[in-house]
């Protein structure tokens, strides 16, 4: 275990968070979003999330509920979110031995299943009992779907909390309703009828004392209520989506710990990097080739890129091959910061021996 008392801890945590603030997409929001969060939530962002995950699972065990899915044109889900959710589920299983339940809308089940296969997981039928049991010699993940109507989605949420008894909740690139209870795209596009009400699941879980980690990149995602008051200063549609009576796009529900990044999948990668470092287990941090396969499988299952608005193997306009390079660079940077190197005689340093 990497101790928070170690001088390496702060360096690794800072390295990961700095990667998250790179404006990869050129949208120009992440710098302001990160600065706003630093005022509201001091301390390491990704490492803070990893610490919460590790501490909670040590105390309670699993499973973990992960919600994702953001609709583009016609309600088709984008690749940002599902890929991060699947790779997070992989990291949680390999690093901590806990299973995840990924929650998506009913019409996105096939997409989520394919994405999980791409991440090296085995999607299993959600048990009728709601109780998640370990399966020997398998890397299971469970997909629970919700209907689009508010009453139906809230009923599923209550059932999940009561019978599955999760240890913590994670939302990644999932629409968050505004103060009026309405959902929007970042540019002000109404999402009425396109998504179920998962704000209810996370608000209820938070009231029950469950840690709630939110991951977002724009301000309209579930959990971003942490900085809702700050967003109107720099996000054009945060306070007014442009349609009278609807309010702005800023999400109202606040996570107990928020992770922000230029792309939400990148935020998930930051948490995975931090968890890998904390556990001093490099297997937890996936190889870049797996990132590519996961994106490709997401598209094969019906996902679309959020910039191209087409079934391209990309996330927010960044191609899968470029993501592979980014993952490779972050992974190598974290390993080097932890002392992992090849010396002049060709001996490979063992990061687990670093104190």
**10-residue stretch averages of pLDDT, the chain, 355 residues long:** 88 96 96 98 98 97 96 96 98 97 98 98 95 94 97 97 97 98 97 97 98 98 98 96 98 98 98 96 96 98 95 97 98 87 69 47
Using left for φ > 0, alpha for ψ between -120 and 50, and beta otherwise, residue 64 falls in beta
Residues 6+ apart with CB under 8 A from 237: 184, 186, 187, 188, 248, 249
How far apart, in Å, do the first and last CA atoms of the chain sit?
Answer: 9
The answer to whether residues 33 and 46 touch, using CB atoms and an 8 Å cutoff, is no
**Interatomic CA distance for residues 275 and 277, integer angstroms:** 5
The answer to whether residues 240 and 229 touch, using CB atoms and an 8 Å cutoff, is no
Tell me the CATH number for domain 7-353: 3.90.1640.20
**Interatomic CA distance for residues 194 and 212, integer angstroms:** 23
**Interatomic CA distance for residues 208 and 93, integer angstroms:** 24
**Interatomic CA distance for residues 143 and 257, integer angstroms:** 24
- pTM of the full structure: 0.96
**Interatomic CA distance for residues 35 and 72, integer angstroms:** 28
- Residue that has been written with the tokens 């959600």 in this structure: 126
Token pair of 350, please?
Answer: 């063992």
Range 203-208 contact pairs with CB under 8 angstroms and sequence separation of 24 or more: 203/253, 204/157, 204/158, 204/161, 205/65, 205/161, 205/166, 205/169, 206/169, 206/256, 208/161
Question: According to DSSP H, which parts of the chain are helical?
Answer: 7-20, 30-40, 46-60, 82-96, 109-118, 150-159, 199-207, 264-279, 288-300, 320-337
3-state SS assignment for residue 301: coil
The answer to whether residues 284 and 95 touch, using CB atoms and an 8 Å cutoff, is yes
């Amino acid at each position: 275990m990497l101790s928070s008392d170690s001088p390496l801890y702060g360096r690794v945590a800072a390295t990961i968070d700095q990667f998250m603030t790179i404006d990869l997409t050129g949208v120009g929001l992440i710098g302001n979003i990160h600065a706003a969060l630093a005022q509201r939530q001091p301390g390491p962002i990704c490492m803070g999330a990893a610490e919460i995950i590790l501490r909670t699972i040590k105390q309670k065990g699993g499973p973990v509920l992960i919600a994702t899915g953001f609709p583009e044109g016609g309600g088709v889900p984008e690749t940002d979110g599902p890929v991060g959710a699947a790779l997070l589920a992989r990291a949680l299983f390999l690093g901590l031995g806990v299973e995840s339940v990924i929650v998506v809308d009913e019409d996105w089940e096939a997409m989520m299943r394919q994405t999980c296969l791409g991440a090296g997981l085995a999607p299993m039928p959600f048990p009728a009992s709601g109780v998640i049991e370990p399966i020997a010699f398998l890397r299971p993940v469970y997909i629970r779907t919700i209907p689009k109507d508010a009453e139906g989605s809230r009923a599923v949420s209550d059932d999940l909390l009561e019978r599955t008894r999760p240890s913590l909740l994670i939302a990644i690139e999932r629409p968050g309703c505004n103060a009026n209870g309405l959902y929007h795209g970042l540019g002000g596009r109404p999402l009425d009828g396109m998504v179920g009400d998962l704000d209810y699941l996370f608000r209820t879980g938070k009231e029950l004392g469950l840690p709630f980690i939110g991951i977002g990149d724009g301000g309209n995602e579930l959990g971003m209520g942490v900085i809702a008051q700050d967003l109107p200063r720099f996000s054009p549609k945060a306070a007014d989506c442009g349609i009278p009576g609807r309010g702005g796009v800023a999400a109202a529900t606040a996570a107990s710990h928020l992770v922000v990044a230029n792309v939400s999948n990148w935020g998930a990668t930051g948490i995975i990097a931090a968890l890998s470092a904390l556990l001093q287990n490099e297997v937890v941090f996936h190889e870049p080739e797996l990132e590519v396969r996961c994106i490709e499988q997401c598209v094969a299952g019906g996902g679309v890129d959020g910039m191209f608005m087409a079934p391209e193997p990309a996330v927010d306009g960044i191609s899968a091959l470029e993501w592979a390079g980014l993952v490779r660079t972050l992974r190598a940077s974290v390993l080097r910061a932890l002392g992992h190197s090849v010396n002049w005689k060709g001996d490979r340093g063992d990061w687990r021996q670093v104190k």
